[in-house]
Amino acid sequence: MSRFPWQSIARCFGALGILLAAWATPVGAHGIVGQRFFPATLSIEDPFVADELSLPTAGFTRQRRTAEEPSTLETEFSTELSKRLSTNLGLSLGAAVIMEAPRGGPTIAGFDNMEVGLKYVFLKRAENELLLSGGFDVDVGGTGQERVGAEPFSTFTPSLFFGKGMGDLPDGVRFLKPFALTGALGLALPVRTDPRVFQWGFTLQYSLQYLQSAVQDIGLPAPFNRMIPIVEFPIQTTVEGRSRTAGSINPGVIWFGRYIQLGFEAVVPVNGNTLTPEEQGRQSGVGFLGQIHFYLDDIWPDVFTWTPFDGVLGPTQP
């Protein structure tokens, strides 16, 4: 067993601490920055903290047949609860159930490891529609079942998250203003000798609500006037030994209302979709993601927006 990488974590938190001290500023929930609304995305972690619940996020992927294993349908149902501890600090808890159904064989089902995360938003600039945050996630080893791939050891991931709207572009290109980018950069540090993985990715969004309200009303009716076409690019790269990269392109659409958000994406693997040489022959076909997301801070603000440090924060949307 290798020594746990305390020095790597310390360096990450040291750099994050300097940024926090330099840029700390009050922020709101839901990723609202100026006129920009950043939705909760399905594959890439969001840059904001909020009182929200994803229940469920459902994923479906067909693993292709190999010489040793039959074609297998993998289904995952996950949930995540996010709770603000203060205006800027948030805690998240995540759990998932995985089901693997090989063609002609019995279905295997079990829990994946529990995930616990902390996130702190340290920069918000309304005039630039800019949001930056830092986080630390723990995949708690041994809380899931190995028969569905849950590891018996923990993995720690310090991360940096960002969101940037294009509303500060000149009026000459005003129809580009509804575009926005969000992204995440993290280094997964397993306790054991498994390779460290650089987890990175970004989303490209075009908000039709922003187009109607902040650029030009083109007369879109409901439900299209509250839709956000989106493409997510979740990618992983090993950083030890021979470098390998795996990822997907996820085109889809998000609709958001006052209390709830709905999302749907296709998952298209690119450049392979496995990180280890042993799994290179076990490729996935096109999959699908769907999510129902609840804005708890607007559903019941007197209860769900209570925080131990800043009291009751109230609803995000007046």
* CATH fold for the domain made of 6-274+283-312: Porin (2.40.160)
Q: What count of Cα atoms within 13 Å lies in the side-chain half-sphere of residue 311?
A: 1
The tens place of each residue's pLDDT in the chain, 318 residues long, gives 334 344 444 454 444 444 333 333 334 446 889 999 999 999 999 999 999 999 999 999 988 776 677 888 999 999 999 999 999 999 999 999 999 998 888 999 999 999 999 999 999 999 999 999 999 999 999 999 999 989 999 999 999 999 999 999 999 999 999 999 999 999 999 998 778 999 999 999 999 999 999 999 999 999 999 999 999 999 999 987 777 888 999 999 999 999 999 999 999 998 655 665 555 555 678 899 999 999 999 999 999 999 999 999 988 776
Domains of the chain by residue range: 6-274+283-312
Query: Are the beta carbons of 153 and 141 closer than 8 angstroms?
Result: yes
pTM value? 0.86
Query: Are the beta carbons of 63 and 71 closer than 8 angstroms?
Result: yes
Cβ neighbors of 140 (< 8 A, separation 6 or more) are 113, 114, 115, 116, 154
What tokens were used for 198?
Answer: 């650089």
Note the pLDDT of residue 67.
63
